[in-house]
Amino acid sequence: MKKLVKRRQPDLTSATFSDDIPPLLQRVYAARGVTDGSELENHLKHLPTPNQLKGVDKAVELLCLALQNQQSLLIVGDFDCDGATSTALGILALRAMGYQRVDYLVPNRFDYGYGLTPEIVELASANKPDLIITVDNGISSITGVAAAQQMGIKVIVTDHHLPGEQLPKADAIVNPNQPGCDFPSKNLAGVGVIFYLLSALRAKLRDSNWFAGQGIAEPSMATWLDLVALGTVADVVPLDRTNRILVHQGLQRIRAGCCRPGILALMAAAGRDYRRAVAMDFGFFVGPRLNAAGRLDDISHGIECLLTDSPDIAREFAQELDGLNRDRKLIEAQMQKEAAALVDQLQLDKQGLPWGLCLYNPDWHQGVVGLLASRIKEKVHRPVIAFADESDGVIKGSARSIPGLHIRDALDAVAARHPGLLSKFGGHAMAAGMSLPLDKLDEFKAAFDDEVRRQLCDDDLQAVLHSDGEMAAGDFTLERVQQLRDGGPWGQQFPEPVFDGEFRLVQQRIVGEKHLKLVVANASGEAIDAIAFNIDLGQWPATDVERVRCVFKPDINEWRGNRSVQLIVEQLEKL
């Protein structure tokens, strides 16, 4: 789908940046709402304090009591990268603070589903925990929390997902999105929430002289910022200032090699240089390898990779996770082919594509439907839900949305208008999950499409590429591109710089079967390498074309020790 290119129009009239920030980068920052250089200071001292989180004092009190009595703690996590990093952080930090009986349990998504369910509580009870701590889940676990408390197990819920109308009656809830919480950043990932709780716990233990009294070295919470950065980026939460600070500090540690052996091993398995790590490495290389374990097998493999102190063991886990990721790619490729056929059939229909698109195939892998929904959404630019079989007569869907439609709220509206249609649902603005009976799928398709049409208009279905405008000829240098690369961390709602412009086409050839390798010349005649991935082979190469318009991300290509500017082409147009 060709995207409409819109140039951002930053207002620099009242901007206050230092002279060492080049005008190009000032323009980029202003377009993202940052007009004061002080907002770019990524020191830990600029983080909000933990005591601003509702429920954190009660949770700390419970944890202190558990430590005094050396009670048994069980962390119940989620089966994605955010859940894995949250779980690993909880285990490592609690043990460093002196907890001797702390373990974790992550439900297998295929057997138990998501969150702290009564079935998970029953499974957890075999470990005889005194206290369960949920990470990256639990805010919707009404019955699971009740089941735990009936067994005499206390529950601390730490989560970041949006709550429903009813909250679980946990002993403590720490979630910046719960009603009445004044924490200024509502965008923490699950790993950010548990990091804040543990920071508050560490401060309380320090103030009570616990570490000195026990002869324990007081741990530095910065030790685990690599895990916080990884989970935050991989979960695609908005990079507000709080999250940018957490990610920046984690990246700094990773580049210095001061991080978990598992992260270094996963970077190596992906062919990435940890010394030049950027946020994109988490989202596109490390995160997917951890997620592959939860999608296809058991996320505990990923958690153990993050927990081990042995580089050799970490390398073995990373190789296993890399293999699972390759398997995931093969499964996903086949599913994409089948989904594309369903979309083509719908487009041939006289009614065309629904505005809210639902796709189902009984043979699809339920651990991969989220990725499939994301890929199809990119092709058709409308909210997409991909469904797979979950259990007898029940299907599980994973949704991805577009700007303008809060997908979790849309599902809530569908559930309100059609009671009993959805068995369960939850999620964020841009991603959500749900379950419903298979025999109600057609009814749900119609209800979802109606709701999307209520909330969106025709213009919302036009995909848009936002550009930061043109780059001057003098900006196509290694120094300037490195400044852009290092100017982040870039990510959700603080996007990586994208530019557009006209170029003379010097060379073009197909590489890797479906990628177009280019050499283009800018206004000053300087030749620049470029590459367009997954090009339309019916349109390119085009030997009769002399000029092109490119929408691109400037990058640095490293090959055999040489570094050069390379443009990653997002959209290519013949002129």
Domain assignment of residue 448, yes or no: yes
pLDDT for residue 111 = 67
Do 368 and 447 have their domain in common? yes
SS (H, E, C) 256-283: CCCCCHHHHHHHHHCCCCHHHCCHHHHH
**Which CATH number covers residue 560?**
2.40.50.460
Domain assignment of residue 329, yes or no: no
Q: Which residues form the domain of 77?
A: 45-220
Nearest to 384 by CA among 394, 392, 374, 395: 374
Do 418 and 487 have their domain in common? no
Domain assignment of residue 49, yes or no: yes
Domain assignment of residue 431, yes or no: yes
Domain assignment of residue 253, yes or no: no
pLDDT for residue 429 = 85
Do 115 and 69 have their domain in common? yes
**Which CATH number covers residue 450?**
3.10.310.30
Residue that finishes a domain, picked among 201, 220, 239: 220
CA–CA separation, 228 vs 188, rounded Å? Answer: 10
Do 63 and 202 have their domain in common? yes
Do 448 and 506 have their domain in common? no
CA distances (Å), origin 556, targets 49, 251, 276, 479, 564: 37, 18, 11, 10, 6
Do 402 and 506 have their domain in common? no
Domain assignment of residue 400, yes or no: yes
Do 511 and 418 have their domain in common? no
Do 436 and 514 have their domain in common? no
Q: How many domains does the chain have?
A: 3
pLDDT for residue 397 = 95
Do 73 and 134 have their domain in common? yes
Q: What is this structure's pTM?
A: 0.92
Domain assignment of residue 26, yes or no: no
Burial of 33 (0-12, 13-18, 19+ CB in 10 A): exposed
Do 450 and 491 have their domain in common? no
pLDDT for residue 109 = 66
Do 419 and 520 have their domain in common? no
Q: Please list the rounded mean pLDDT of every run of 10 residues in the chain (575 residues).
A: 90 89 95 92 95 97 96 93 96 97 84 80 90 94 94 96 91 97 96 98 96 94 97 94 97 96 97 94 94 88 96 97 95 95 85 92 94 95 95 92 94 94 87 93 96 95 95 94 94 95 95 92 93 91 93 91 93 93
Domain assignment of residue 193, yes or no: yes
pLDDT for residue 316 = 97
**Which CATH number covers residue 158?**
3.90.1640.30
Residue that finishes a domain, picked among 461, 482, 501: 461
Do 499 and 439 have their domain in common? no
